[in-house]
Amino acid sequence: MRVELRVEAWRAWLDERLGTDAVREFLRRKAVPIHRHTIWYYFGGMTLFLFVVQVVTGALLLLYYRPSAEAAFESVQFIMTEVEFGWLVRSIHSWSANLMIATLFIHMFSAYFMKAYRPPRELTWVSGTFLLLLALAFGFSGYLLPWNKLAFFATKVGTDIAGDVPLVGRFLLRFLRGGEEVTGATLTRFFGFHVAILPGMTTIVLALHLILVQKHGMSVPPSLEGKSLRKMPFFPNFLLRDLIGWVLAIGALAALAALFPWGLGEKADPFAPAPAGIKPEWYFLFMFQTLRLLPARVGIVEGEVLGVTIFLLGGIFWMLVPFLDKPASGRRSRFFTGVGVFFVLYLVIMTIWGYLV
Amino acid sequence: MLSWSEQRRKLLNILLGTSVGATLVAIFYPILKFMIPPEVIEATQASVVAGRVNELPPNSGKIFKFGNKPGLLVRTPTGEYKAFSAVCTHLDCIVQYRPDMRLIWCACHNGQYNLSGKNIAGPPPRPLEEYVVNIRGEEIVVSKA
Amino acid sequence: MACKWGMRQWAVLTLLLTTFGGSGANVARAQKKDSCVECHAALEGPLAAPVEAMNEDVHRARGFSCADCHGGDPSRDDPLESMDPRKGFLARPSPRAIPALCGRCHSDAEFMKRYNPALRVDQEREYFTSVHGKRLRAGDARVATCTSCHGAHGIRPAQHPLSPVYPLHVAETCARCHADAAYMKEYRIPSDQYDRYKRSVHARALYERQDLSAPTCNDCHGNHGAVPPGVASVAHVCGQCHVRQSTLFQASPHKAAFDAMQLAECVYCHGNHEVLPPTDEMIGTGEKSVCVSCHPPGDAGYQAAERMRALLDDLSRHLERTLAILDRAERAGMEVSRAKFELNEARDALTHARVLIHAFSVKELENVIRPGLEIARRGYQAGERALAELNYRRKGLAVSLLFILFLAFLLYLKVREIEGAS
């Protein structure tokens, strides 16, 4: 009895100062529909969880990492060998980055195929595409930070491609590299992006994304629209289920870190020739492979410029899907489903092809 | 006396609480240990402590580790400190300081370098890379030029 | 008075044209007429070849021309006058005459000072101490003289990469005669030196690694005073570069023994032309060992050889073992660069030990091998520690996975419980 009185006293104290009653009420009412596709609902939270893992491990790495060409590689080596559990923190950071992007893609495509972008959730979708771009930027900038040979050349190739964007390409290349070539200046700049600028932007966009999700609640697939469905309370049911997933994710990360430690390779040497078979990370591979397949010139336009332009247009299309998919008739909707299937197949096939070559 | 299902409920809660606690410890323990500075506090290979001020008498030398390569710290007859890469430019043997000859000598094929690192006799085709030496209190710090 | 173009005018014109016309080099060079070049350039085949060759010649570049060696009068066009023996013309000098011909300038210090004060001026004298020189004096016209190695026309300085006496070409130049079995038959010396040399470690250094400090024929035999090093002095020759080995050998018991038996020190074990990279198998009592060619089983030397080989093998084995384990640890993701660095000292110890063999002293060898073994052992322990750490991590992982799966299972039960109740 006394315990409950104490809890009640705390609740009242907090509510008077922070207005927490409204939040508690909302959480109590929040519910998740149960149907055949409920499983996809977990991937957004999983991506968020892995992002939190990144923030925590990233902050820890910041205690020892040095963002200059002379010391970066050695500092990562130091973390891997001298710092207690440094190997664990660093490997988890690298693996979690990849897992996060994988779950992000699953989350995005599942939301797409369930047409969760239908009104009134258009802005949730748009903010989501921005989060995709931010995640890819995180991956690209973070990859360079150990300053090893693989990363150096992957960055060189990647920023070369950025230079192929029509009109602003040259400016973009200099902006990214901090100069004409990939140098220590690039490293410092990428570090700034990775630990300050991108996290700041992500905080804002993520907050917007999450607020919108709370505001509109979970969407259901079009076929189930209007039907009355069983619902489970978010707290504690859905959250407990989320936790199972998150706990398993921790296990997976620990296993990957111990059994497949993330390698360091050799320190970057700007004067050495590029090693054979440079590839970007897997989540950029589909773009890389596409560009490799395009001929050097297509009409009056350079092949790479054409490729980059196509991807840009594709990205813009993807972002605007909520405004384009207005199903006056069912046929329109099926077209977009088809486009989605095409994109998924394209990504998967190009990625696999990129690895095999 | 609790019913069977109530007992199970309580057991599950206790187990769950303990497991969650243990997992949190398993997460925060490594984090804490990570944050505590290790014995060797710095990683930099750009500079290294090659010795202490009273270690070398004038006209003597010693080998020290610089990154993954050997370095040679020499105290000249006039008392100043010089440091070079100790890898002979001929066939990678480790050179040494010869107090009797007052120069740097390679035992493998009689290669000789003067106290500026310049190859002056024998097969070595190039001078030894010279490093920058600074005295920091009691320590002799060698760094790449 | 108008001049009509008659014979005289034509003669003057011809004279003017031939003086100032002709090859550009002629005009560019001294104002002096050079009929040798003018005529021979217009000839064919071997008579014209020297003119072409002389364009690259170092003497030509200094202002010398044909008559400075061959004599005669280059200002005259008439062959009878320009190539008049009374004017000192010497058509094709006989081999016997060549050293003196070149020596006329090259042995004259005052003269040479004007052109290249750094050049030696004793080549001619040195030459006559050589086998070639001695035989030449005795009447053998088949031996090498100055022009055999340096060329006659188109002589380049020895430092010029295209000179036949540039380090990279010396062996080929000597081989022109010395590798020709038919040519060398009457001298009854072998003619396989060039082939053997090409297989040697010195040739590999010179030709493959372009290490110009690697020895070629003249580094051991001398160039002008070329002579096979005497049996007692071979060690000094090799010792020019291989200082330590030579010093150790001179101080070892083998020196007296080899001298007494008239054995050619370094050459006896290592060969002279076909010097191959030495291997540990040369020490000891195995079939490839050089020790057993003198030391019968059971004698002190035999036992010493056995012991020394055992020491070398020991260190070599430990080193390999340690490298293997460190590599394994590194491939598995562990950081072992410090241990690898420290292993360098052990590798150095092995190199020193292999040099120390030339002292032929078991005790001295032990003094070097023992610390090396210690270092190798420490490196091995570092490797073992790294692998143990790896193991520890894996065990730690297995344990934590168990807990994690257990927790996930409990959560699942909790969910079931909550939903079972509703």
Q: Which chains touch A (3 or more CB pairs under 8 A)?
A: B, C
Which string of DSSP letters, residue by residue, matches A252-280? Answer: HHHHHHHHSPPP---B--TTSPPPTT---
In chain B, % of residues over pLDDT 70: 92
The CA–CA distances, whole Å, from A167 to A159, A182, A303, C407 equal 15, 21, 15, 55
**Residue C27: band (very low, low, confident or very high) from pLDDT cuts 50, 70, 90:** very low
Burial A111-123 (b: 16+ CB within 10 A, else e): bbbbbbbbeebbe
Asked if residue C5 belongs to a domain, the reply is: no
Q: Taking the C-alpha atoms of C263, C267, C273 and C276 in order, what is their torsion angle to the nearest 10 degrees?
A: 150
Residues of A with CB under 8 A from a CB of C: 77, 80-81, 87-88, 232, 236-237, 240-241, 243-244, 247-248, 250-251, 254-255, 257-259, 261, 263
Residues in chain C: 422
Domain assignment of residue B26, given as a range: 1-36
- Cα separation, A180 vs A186, whole angstroms: 10
Do C306 and C265 sit in the same domain of this protein?
no
Asked if residue A66 belongs to a domain, the reply is: yes
- Cα separation, C187 vs B22, whole angstroms: 94
Q: What is residue B62's predicted lDDT score, i.e. its pLDDT? A: 93
Asked if residue A310 belongs to a domain, the reply is: no
> The domain that contains B64 carries what CATH number?
2.102.10.10
Best residue of B3, B5, B8, B16 to probe chain C, by most C CBs closer than 10 Å: B16
Q: What is residue A93's predicted lDDT score, i.e. its pLDDT? A: 97
Do B31 and B54 sit in the same domain of this protein?
no
Chain C partners within 8 Å of B93 (Cβ): 348, 351
Do B27 and B70 sit in the same domain of this protein?
no
Asked if residue A332 belongs to a domain, the reply is: no
Do B93 and B138 sit in the same domain of this protein?
yes
Nearest to B123 among C241, C351, C404 (CB): C241
**Residue B40: how many other CB atoms lie within 10 Å:** 11
**Residue C2: band (very low, low, confident or very high) from pLDDT cuts 50, 70, 90:** very low
Do C254 and C331 sit in the same domain of this protein?
no
Please tell me the distance in Å from C410's CA to the nearest CA on chain A: 9
Flag if B34 and A250 touch (Cβ within 8 Å): no
Question: What spatial distance separates the first Cα and last Cα of chain B, rounded to whole Å?
Answer: 81
Q: Would you call A187 an interface residue with chain B, using a CB distance cutoff of 8 Å?
A: no
Asked if residue A347 belongs to a domain, the reply is: no
Asked if residue B122 belongs to a domain, the reply is: yes
Contacts of C108 (CB under 8 A, 6+ apart): C121
Please tell me the distance in Å from A84's CA to the nearest CA on chain C: 12
- Cα separation, C159 vs C167, whole angstroms: 8
Q: What is residue C399's predicted lDDT score, i.e. its pLDDT? A: 87
Q: Any idea which of A300-314, A321-335, C252-266, C387-401 has the lowest mean pLDDT?
A: A321-335
Q: What is residue C10's predicted lDDT score, i.e. its pLDDT? A: 60
Q: What is residue C89's predicted lDDT score, i.e. its pLDDT? A: 87
Helix (H) or strand (E) holding B17: helix B4-35
Chain B partners within 8 Å of C400 (Cβ): 26
Cα angle C237-C241-C242, degrees, rounded to a multiple of 5: 90
- Cα separation, A231 vs A30, whole angstroms: 10
Asked if residue C106 belongs to a domain, the reply is: no
Do B97 and B123 sit in the same domain of this protein?
yes
Asked if residue C332 belongs to a domain, the reply is: yes
- Average pLDDT of the segment spanning C26-40: 70
- Cα separation, C363 vs C254, whole angstroms: 16
Successive 10-residue mean pLDDT values, chain A, 357 residues: 82 89 88 90 96 97 92 89 91 96 96 91 96 96 94 91 89 93 93 97 97 92 84 90 95 90 82 79 89 87 89 94 78 82 94 89
> What six digits make up the tokens of C367?
């003094």
Q: Would you call C415 an interface residue with chain A, using a CB distance cutoff of 8 Å?
A: yes
Flag if A247 and C333 touch (Cβ within 8 Å): no
- Cα separation, A187 vs A192, whole angstroms: 9
Q: What is residue C14's predicted lDDT score, i.e. its pLDDT? A: 54
In chain C, % of residues over pLDDT 90: 37
Q: What is residue A70's predicted lDDT score, i.e. its pLDDT? A: 81
Asked if residue B42 belongs to a domain, the reply is: no
pTM of the predicted structure, to 2 decimals: 0.68
Domain assignment of residue C360, given as a range: 300-390
Contact indicator for C82, C76 with CB cutoff of 8 Å: yes
Going by C-alpha positions, the residue among A284, A147, A141 that lies closest to residue A199 is A141
Q: How far out from the chain centre does Cα B100 lie?
A: 30
User: What residues are paired with C379 via a beta bridge?
Assistant: none
Contact indicator for C342, C378 with CB cutoff of 8 Å: yes
Asked if residue C113 belongs to a domain, the reply is: no
Flag if A74 and B23 touch (Cβ within 8 Å): no
Q: Would you call C414 an interface residue with chain B, using a CB distance cutoff of 8 Å?
A: yes
Do B10 and B72 sit in the same domain of this protein?
no
> The domain that contains A109 carries what CATH number?
1.20.810.10
**Residue B143: band (very low, low, confident or very high) from pLDDT cuts 50, 70, 90:** confident
Q: Give the helix ranges, DSSP H, for chain A.
A: 2-18, 20-29, 42-62, 72-81, 86-113, 122-144, 149-162, 169-177, 184-192, 198-216, 239-259, 285-293, 303-324, 330-356
Q: Would you call C421 an interface residue with chain A, using a CB distance cutoff of 8 Å?
A: no
What's the structural domain count of chain C? Answer: 2
**Residue C23: band (very low, low, confident or very high) from pLDDT cuts 50, 70, 90:** very low
Q: If phi over 0 gives left and psi between -120 and 50 gives alpha, with beta otherwise, what is residue C284?
A: left
Chain C partners within 8 Å of B110 (Cβ): 241, 243-244
Contact indicator for B144, B47 with CB cutoff of 8 Å: yes
Q: Would you call A254 an interface residue with chain B, using a CB distance cutoff of 8 Å?
A: no
What's the structural domain count of chain B? Answer: 2
Report helix, strand or coil for A344: helix
Please give the residue of chain B at the shortest CA–CA distance from C339: B68
User: What residues are paired with B83 via a beta bridge?
Assistant: B73, B131
Q: Would you call A74 an interface residue with chain B, using a CB distance cutoff of 8 Å?
A: yes
Contact indicator for C376, A212 with CB cutoff of 8 Å: no
Which string of DSSP letters, residue by residue, matches B83-112? Answer: EEE-B-TTT-PBPEEETTTTEEEETTTTEE
Do C257 and C335 sit in the same domain of this protein?
no
Tell me if the bond preceding B57 is cis, omega within 30° of 0.
no
**Residue C28: band (very low, low, confident or very high) from pLDDT cuts 50, 70, 90:** very low
Backbone φ, ψ for residue B81 (5° rounding)? -100, 140
Do B19 and B57 sit in the same domain of this protein?
no
Q: If phi over 0 gives left and psi between -120 and 50 gives alpha, with beta otherwise, what is residue B27?
A: alpha
Asked if residue B41 belongs to a domain, the reply is: no
Report helix, strand or coil for A238: helix
**How would you write chain C as a 3-class SS string?**
CCCCCCHHHHHHHHHHHHHHCCCHHHHHCCCCCCHHHHHHHHCCHHHCHHHHHHCCCHHHHCCCCHHHHHCCCCCCCCHHHHCCHHHCCCCCCCHHHHHHHHHHHHCCHHHHHCCCCCCCCCHHHHHCCCHHHHHHHCCCCCCCCHHHHHCCCCCCCCCCCCCCCCHHHHHHHHHHHHCCHHHHHHHCCCCCHHHHHHCCHHHHHHHHCCCCCCCCHHHHHCCCCCCCCCHHHHHHHHCCCCHHHHHHHHHCHHHHHHHHCCCCHHHHHHCCCCCCCCCHHHCCCCCCCCHHHCCCCCCHHHHHHHHHHHHHHHHHHHHHHHHHHHHHHHHCCCCCHHHHHHHHHHHHHHHHHHHHHHHCCHHHHHHHHHHHHHHHHHHHHHHHHHHHHHHHHHHHHHHHHHHHHHHHHHHHHHHHHHHHHC
Do B68 and B93 sit in the same domain of this protein?
yes
Top-confidence range, A332-336, B111-115, C330-334, C345-349: B111-115
Going by C-alpha positions, the residue among A255, A264, A266 that lies closest to residue A81 is A264
E-strand stretches of chain B: 47-52, 60-66, 69-75, 81-85, 96-98, 103-106, 111-113, 119-121, 130-136, 139-143
Chain C partners within 8 Å of B87 (Cβ): none
Sign of CA dihedral A217, A222, A227, A231: negative
Helix (H) or strand (E) holding B15: helix B4-35
Contact indicator for B85, B73 with CB cutoff of 8 Å: no
For β-strands B81-85 and B111-113, DSSP reports them as unpaired
- Average pLDDT of the segment spanning C380-406: 90
Nearest to A255 among C337, C397, C415 (CB): C397
Best residue of C389, C390, C393, C414 to probe chain A, by most A CBs closer than 10 Å: C393
Flag if A84 and B34 touch (Cβ within 8 Å): yes
Contact indicator for C9, C3 with CB cutoff of 8 Å: yes
Contact pairs from chain A to chain C, CB under 8 Å: 52
Nearest to A60 among B31, B43, B45 (CB): B31
Q: What is residue C102's predicted lDDT score, i.e. its pLDDT? A: 93
- Cα separation, C43 vs A195, whole angstroms: 83
Contact indicator for A321, A117 with CB cutoff of 8 Å: yes
User: What angle, 0 to 180 degrees and rounded to 10, lies between the N-to-C axes of helices C253-260 and C243-251?
Assistant: 80
Flag if B109 and C243 touch (Cβ within 8 Å): yes
- Average pLDDT of the segment spanning C176-204: 91
Q: What is residue C149's predicted lDDT score, i.e. its pLDDT? A: 93
Q: What is residue C12's predicted lDDT score, i.e. its pLDDT? A: 59
Please tell me the distance in Å from C333's CA to the nearest CA on chain A: 6
Please give the residue of chain B at the shortest CA–CA distance from A86: B34
Place of tokens 């014109």: C13
Flag if B30 and A88 touch (Cβ within 8 Å): yes
pLDDT of C343 over the 90 cut: no
Contact pairs from chain B to chain C, CB under 8 Å: 56
Flag if A254 and C414 touch (Cβ within 8 Å): no
Do B3 and B59 sit in the same domain of this protein?
no
Going by C-alpha positions, the residue among A251, A270, A253 that lies closest to residue A261 is A253
Q: What is residue C7's predicted lDDT score, i.e. its pLDDT? A: 62
Q: What is residue A261's predicted lDDT score, i.e. its pLDDT? A: 83
Flag if C419 and A254 touch (Cβ within 8 Å): no
Nearest to C405 among A81, A251, A258 (CB): A251
Sign of CA dihedral B84, B85, B86, B92: negative
Chain A partners within 8 Å of B46 (Cβ): 70-71, 74
Interface of C with A in 320-359 (CB under 8 A): 332-335, 337
Contact indicator for B128, B104 with CB cutoff of 8 Å: yes
Please tell me the distance in Å from B145's CA to the nearest CA on chain C: 22
Please give the residue of chain A at the shortest CA–CA distance from C407: A247
Asked if residue C265 belongs to a domain, the reply is: yes
Please give the residue of chain B at the shortest CA–CA distance from A60: B35
Asked if residue A201 belongs to a domain, the reply is: yes
Going by C-alpha positions, the residue among C337, C303, C389 that lies closest to residue A73 is C337
Q: What is residue C78's predicted lDDT score, i.e. its pLDDT? A: 86
B117/C231: higher pLDDT: B117
For β-strands B103-106 and B96-98, DSSP reports them as antiparallel
Q: What is residue C1's predicted lDDT score, i.e. its pLDDT? A: 43
Please give the residue of chain C at the shortest CA–CA distance from A233: C419
ipTM above 0.90, yes or no: no
Do C368 and C310 sit in the same domain of this protein?
yes
Q: What is residue C188's predicted lDDT score, i.e. its pLDDT? A: 87
Q: What is residue A174's predicted lDDT score, i.e. its pLDDT? A: 93
Q: Would you call C407 an interface residue with chain A, using a CB distance cutoff of 8 Å?
A: yes
Domain assignment of residue A110, given as a range: 38-276
Q: Which chains touch C (3 or more CB pairs under 8 A)?
A: A, B
Going by C-alpha positions, the residue among C10, C55, C8 that lies closest to residue C28 is C55
What's the structural domain count of chain A? Answer: 1
Q: How far out from the chain centre does Cα A209 lie?
A: 14
Asked if residue A43 belongs to a domain, the reply is: yes
Please tell me the distance in Å from B123's CA to the nearest CA on chain A: 27
Chain A partners within 8 Å of B44 (Cβ): 66, 70-71, 74
> What six digits make up the tokens of A121?
């959730």
Do B55 and B106 sit in the same domain of this protein?
yes
pLDDT of C331 over the 80 cut: no
Place of tokens 């505001």: A215
pLDDT of C135 over the 70 cut: yes
Q: What is the DSSP letter of A41?
A: G
pLDDT of C120 over the 60 cut: yes
Do B53 and B115 sit in the same domain of this protein?
yes
C285-313 residue pLDDT tens:
888 888 988 899 988 999 999 999 999 99
Q: What is residue A102's predicted lDDT score, i.e. its pLDDT? A: 96
- Cα separation, C276 vs C273, whole angstroms: 9
Going by C-alpha positions, the residue among A121, A116, A101 that lies closest to residue A41 is A116
